[in-house]
Structure 1
Amino acid sequence: MTIDQITRDANVYGDDISEIYDLLYLRRGKDYAGEADIVTSLVRERVPHADSLLDVACGTGEHLKTLRERFSRVEGLELSDAMRARARAKLPGVAVHPGDIRDFRLGRVFDAVCSLYSTVGYMSGTGELDAAVASMGRHVAPGGVLIVEPWYFRDGFADGHIGDDVVREEGRTIARVARSARDGDTVRVQAHYLVADGAGVRHFEHTQVMSLFSRAEYAAAFERAGFTAECLEETGPLLAGRSLFLGVRRDGSAR
């Protein structure tokens, strides 16, 4: 197993990051409810009767908190034990399944399936991208909708980007600094965290290995999975200019 593959396996969030994840992103201004409403609108524009949804790689379940109010049946899927435990704690009555985006089988279909916040960027190449889209696609009912938020496209990534955040709540401050370094179509995002609270100051590091794909490669994965695909480049301020890929499953597509 290569060093990069070992690091990719470590992409899965453990307790350190899961414990501060909600505070970090909510205090940064991430509008989970607004994003969930965008997803709902996109689904209902194409399938007005849609009433069930699966959120793949649902993290701590923040999108699902709103989506469960928009659809009669919602479920989640999450690989990280720590993130899944937090999602289940805040979503009583909602099934949050363990599973890998690349190969999961729940044995039922939904009117809509979504995967947000660029989880597909963790796929190590087009083979894994195809597998992930196909795995999600088999859970979409004929005529239903698949929405996937890509990571950066190959032609739009700024090598060497440095990101930083400081967020505070009563009794605790979190600082994060990260740098991205590109090697071909692979990007290593090295992040350092400092968490200060009543127990002291602790530091941990988390390095993620991501992949850059083209628009054509995302579209091809959708087509191979049996979906007509479109790339929505103008998603508005709530998604901070991030793109979405949306596909409608063709009737009779293989699951």
Structure 2
Amino acid sequence: MYGADLTEIHDLIHESRGKDYGAEARELTRRVRRLRPDARSLLDVACGTGAHLRHFAGLFDAVAGLELSEPMVRAARRALPDVPVHTGDMRAFDIDARFDVVTCMFGSLGYATTEAELHAALAAFARHLTPGGVVAVDPWWFPETYLDGHVSADVTTVAGRTVARVSHSAREGEACRMDVHYVVADAQGGARHFTETHRISLFPRTAYEKAFRAAGLTVVYVPGPHSGRGLFLGAAPRDRATA
């Protein structure tokens, strides 16, 4: 789970690496509205600091977020004071509301540690859909597309603060372990270093599709978006009863 140190620089470092949250939100919305043209409400699960959510807020009449990390929740609430951001686990949550669209971005569903947890998360997403609603998932890498031993490095300077990020990712069984080192430096505080380790499951495409179908959703996979990880779109039947 993301801590306070990373929360402070999360969006800055990823935007410096070329991540365009606004473009991703617009493209996902375009695809979702092919399936549900009248979609008005959206829940972003594992919303982090609200980087995607702030763009979804301009594309839908009503939006909300869900996030497990308390520092990220606080950051999202500060950034989006008019948007409900709930603290909760994507594998088991109930916020007593239903949405036309439920999203889970940036490979976050890979934090499910087993296929049973993957199924639990998709079931929770589906429970929060209106009839005919759509679930959109930006997955983590599949086993065959994952680059074992991948190293990346980035440095950016904004408003007098320099942030360096170096990561190494290696396969561990059916998951990957990603160790990330950060150095943050500015004139007032000097330089400080911290690390984060993430274990992210390498579910095959078929496992995602099985979980969508088990949740009562039709599913299609769109290759290409999100740095090549692709996008899953699952639709609920129009005549289904809400829970």
Q: What range describes the TM-score normalised by the shorter chain of this pair?
A: over 0.9
Residue type of the alignment partner of 1:232: V
Is 1:194 the counterpart of 2:179 in the alignment? no
Equivalent position to 1:33, from 22, 42, 45: 22
Equivalent residue number for residue 9 of structure 1: none
Is 1:214 the counterpart of 2:204 in the alignment? yes
Q: What is the DSSP-based 3-state SS (H/G/I as helix, E as strand, rest coil) of the residue aligned with 1:24?
A: helix
Is 1:223 the counterpart of 2:213 in the alignment? yes
Cα deviation for residue 144 of structure 1 reads: 0.8
Alpha-carbon distance in 2 for matches of 1:201, 1:117:
28
Alpha-carbon distance in 2 for matches of 1:63, 1:191:
22
Alpha-carbon distance in 2 for matches of 1:80, 1:153:
25
Alpha-carbon distance in 1 for matches of 2:30, 2:203:
26
Residue type of the alignment partner of 1:244: L
TM-score scaled to structure 2, two decimals?
Answer: 0.96
Equivalent position to 1:249, from 227, 236, 239: 236
Equivalent position to 2:227, from 225, 235, 240: 240
Can you give the 5+ residue segments of structure 2 that lack an aligned partner in the other structure? Answer: none
State the number of aligned residues: 241
Q: Deviations over 1:18-77 (max 9, x none)?
A: 001111112222111111101211121111111000001111111111111111110111
Can you give the 5+ residue segments of structure 1 that lack an aligned partner in the other structure? Answer: 1-11
Alpha-carbon distance in 2 for matches of 1:98, 1:170:
31
Q: Deviations over 1:121-179 (max 9, x none)?
A: 11111011111111111101111100011100011111111111111113211111111
Alpha-carbon distance in 1 for matches of 2:242, 2:59:
28
Alpha-carbon distance in 1 for matches of 2:40, 2:67:
21
What do you get for the CA RMSD once the two structures are aligned?
1.2
Equivalent residue number for residue 16 of structure 1: 5
Q: What is the DSSP-based 3-state SS (H/G/I as helix, E as strand, rest coil) of the residue aligned with 1:154?
A: coil
Residue type of the alignment partner of 1:42: R
Cα deviation for residue 254 of structure 1 reads: 7.4
Equivalent residue number for residue 107 of structure 1: 96
Alpha-carbon distance in 2 for matches of 1:240, 1:23:
18
Cα deviation for residue 242 of structure 1 reads: 2.6
Alpha-carbon distance in 2 for matches of 1:171, 1:179:
27
Q: What is the DSSP-based 3-state SS (H/G/I as helix, E as strand, rest coil) of the residue aligned with 1:158?
A: coil
Equivalent position to 2:73, from 84, 87, 97: 84
Q: Deviations over 1:58-108 (max 9, x none)?
A: 111111111111111101111111111111111121100111101000112
Residue type of the alignment partner of 2:201: S
For residues 41-120 of structure 1, what are the structure 2 equivalents within 5 Å?
41-120=30-109
Residue type of the alignment partner of 1:252: R
Aligned CA distance change for structure 1 residues 253 and 211 (closer, same or farther; 3 Å) = farther
Alpha-carbon distance in 2 for matches of 1:92, 1:192:
31
Q: What is the DSSP-based 3-state SS (H/G/I as helix, E as strand, rest coil) of the residue aligned with 2:19?
A: coil
Residue type of the alignment partner of 1:143: G
Name the one with the larger helix percent: 1
Tell whether the 8 Å contact from 1:226 to 1:254 is kept in structure 2 after alignment. Answer: no
Alpha-carbon distance in 1 for matches of 2:229, 2:65:
22
TM-score scaled to structure 1, two decimals?
Answer: 0.91
Identity of aligned pairs, percent? 47
